[in-house]
Amino acid sequence: MKKRVVIFLSMLMAVGLLAGCGGGSTAGDTQAQGEQKTAETEVKDTTEQEKETAPLNAVSKGDMIGVSLTSRSAERWLRDGNTLNEDLTAAGYQVDLQYADSKPEMQVQQIENMILKGCKVLIVAPVDNSALSSVLATAKENGILVINYDLGIVGSSDIDYFVGFDNSKVGTMQANAIIEKLGLDKGEEGPFYIELVAGSLAEANCYMYFEGAMEAFKPYMDAGKLVVKSGQTSIEQCTVVDWKLELLTARLDNLLTTYYSDGTLLDAVLSPSDYLSGPIATRLESFGYGSADMPMPVITGNDATESVCKMIATDEVYMSVFKDTRLLSGACLDIINALAEGREPEVTDVYTPDVYEIPTIFVPMESITKENLKEVVVDSGIFTEEQIFGTK
């Protein structure tokens, strides 16, 4: 049975007039496009829409594959790019790998160049989820296969496949880690104090993370067992615009000096990504957390980067969601090879980022803490024991 994953348009339209995210596009643009799409389609049943499928033999061995990723500044995307490049090259394809430095306009230009170079396949993780519809339409006009990679693209019917993780579950996994560590699921009354951090609103996944976490937190917040002392509980209040770490630092400083200077201890921080959770832990340490009198709050993460895995090992960050991105590369390669060999790719899931249903391959993910850290990221060969624990 197909599993349907839907990003609710109401979440996208809730962005309002928030400042630009994801390196230049505004969340307001995302809202306007979502409203226009809703008005035109009335969110009609997408099963009734006719969507052209990628033709068999759309790609052949030796063809060039364009890989467009968000930024080389994040450890995770460098790792993804290296794996895709290695796997595709080893399979006999040429690879044009580009990073957009978190700039939507740069990503559009890079994809345009990939089209001109004659790429037969585009693998795209968007900087701004709503900024690529025009260039992807051009790609489709040129008979190019488009694979949306991990970060959902909205507003385009020109995507052939989605390959990624079931990101609707990430926030739930993060929230459950906090709930379990604080003992709320075992009857602890609290109150425990938590502050919430959300990622860039230009990424559809960030809505999914936040919504999943808030659903899991709701009964404990309603009962007064889990308290956001700042009162900042909307995604608009909690977003880190453009993933700018200086904005994260400024907000943390304001939270701690305004709401926790009376001696109240922060018990947990919901962080959507390792890119933010490491800096959160470091900033909290500068305020005295991590000592006997001020235990480190339960901090979540996502992507299991090397730097944060080290911090999990030293009890600075509590958990991260491990996504073996090698599996994503393998799924992309399975699709491309199947089409090159004249076979239909084996796809069993459906991803619905707005009103368009996209044939999908979801790959598994896992919650990691210090308890299973070695087993998951060392024994599996992602990192060495020396990298994470400083020992051979």
Give Dmax (Cα) for the chain. 67
Domains 62-158+324-362 and 166-321+366-387 agree in fold: yes
At residue 53, the pLDDT reads 52
pLDDT score of 58: 76
Q: d(Cα 212, Cα 214) in Å, to the nearest integer?
A: 6
> What is the model's pLDDT at position 258?
97
Spatial CA neighbour of 81 closest among 377, 351, 365, 332: 332
DSSP per residue over 355-386, as a string? Answer: S--EEEEE--EEEE-TTTHIIIIITTSSS-HH
CA separation for the pair 9, 38 (Å, rounded): 8
Residue 14, SS3 per DSSP:
coil
The class of domain 62-158+324-362 in CATH terms is: alpha beta
- Residue 294 tokens read as 């001020």
Amino acid present at 345: P
**pLDDT score for 8:** 36
- Cα torsion for 194, 199, 200, 202, to the nearest 10°? -110
| pLDDT computed for residue 7 by the predictor | 39
Phi and psi of 374, rounded to 5°? -60, -45
Please identify every stretch of the chain with a pLDDT value under 50, giving residue numbers as ranges.
Answer: 1-51
Confidence at residue 57, expressed as pLDDT on a 0 to 100 scale: 59
For 270-299, b/e burial (b = at least 16 CB within 10 A) is: bbbbbbbbbbbbebbeeeebbeeeeebbbb
CA distance 319 to 384: 19
Burial (0-12, 13-18, 19+ Cβ within 10 Å), 124:
buried
- Angstrom distance (rounded) from CA 31 to CA 370: 40
Confidence at residue 55, expressed as pLDDT on a 0 to 100 scale: 60
What does the alpha-carbon distance between residue 88 and residue 160 come to, in Å, rounded to a whole number?
18
Distance CA 383, CA 375 (A): 11
Write down the pLDDT at residue 392: 53
Instruction: Specify the pLDDT at position 224.
Output: 97
Contacts by residues 280-289 (CB-CB < 8 Å, ≥ 24 positions apart): 280/197, 280/248, 280/252, 281/311, 281/316, 281/317, 282/316, 283/248, 283/249, 283/252, 283/253, 284/252, 284/256, 285/316, 287/256
Question: Among residues 203, 161, 205, 204, which one has the least CA distance to residue 332?
Answer: 161
Q: With b meaning 16 or more CB within 10 Å and e meaning fewer, what string describes 160-181?
A: bbbbbbbbbbbbbbbbbbbbeb
What one-character-per-residue DSSP string does 235-293 give?
Answer: HHHHB-GGG-HHHHHHHHHHHHHHHSTTSPPP-EEE-S-HHHHHHHHHHHHHTTTTSSS
Q: What kind of fold does domain 166-321+366-387 have according to CATH?
A: Rossmann fold (3.40.50)
Q: Domain coordinates of the chain in residue numbers?
A: 62-158+324-362, 166-321+366-387
**Structure tokens, 369:** 């803490």
* pLDDT on residue 353: 75
* Pair type for strands 121-124 and 320-323: unpaired
β-pairing verdict for 365-368 and 320-323? antiparallel
Amino acid 268: pLDDT? 98
Q: Using only C-alpha atoms, what is the Rg of the chain?
A: 21
